[in-house]
């Protein structure tokens, strides 16, 4: 089963990659020790091959990644506020803890006679 992961607003779109502005929760998964106050100025660059095929990247829209491709590992780069260069990062950390759970089995419906106690 595959699903999409929203990672942030797409701020740059190239021929081979897309760049998204990350929020604090996602940055904490990628860099737990990084300290920031307020909105972090972090950006994640991912290849277009990792992006969702159901929801392709669009400028100034939410960027979606395919869970299966993220969990399998792919090259990605992260730039933090105040840095000049992108550094390689393990995007499998984004998918950790997001494994889909099986759908619960439906509960049997009660009959009216079960509520009244008559048979």
Please name the residues in contact with 109: beta carbons below 8 A apart, sequence gap of 6 or more: none
Q: 10 Å Cβ neighbour count for 40?
A: 19
- pLDDT of res. 102: 74
- The tens digit of pLDDT for each residue in 4-41 reads 888 889 999 999 999 999 887 787 878 776 666 556 67
Q: Give domain limits for the chain.
A: 4-97
Predicted TM-score of the model (pTM): 0.74
């Amino acid at each position: 089963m595959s699903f999409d992961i929203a990672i942030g607003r797409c701020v740059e779109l190239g021929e081979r990659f897309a760049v998204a502005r990350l929020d604090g929760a996602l940055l904490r998964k990628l860099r737990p020790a990084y300290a920031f106050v307020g909105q972090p100025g972090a950006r994640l660059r991912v290849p277009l091959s990792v992006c969702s095929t159901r929801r392709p990247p669009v400028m100034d829209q939410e960027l979606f990644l395919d869970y299966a491709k993220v969990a399998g590992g792919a090259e990605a780069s992260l730039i933090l506020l105040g840095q000049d260069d992108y550094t390689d990062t393990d995007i499998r950390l984004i998918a950790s803890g997001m494994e889909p759970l099986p759908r619960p089995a439906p509960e049997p419906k009660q009959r009216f006679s079960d509520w009244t106690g008559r048979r």
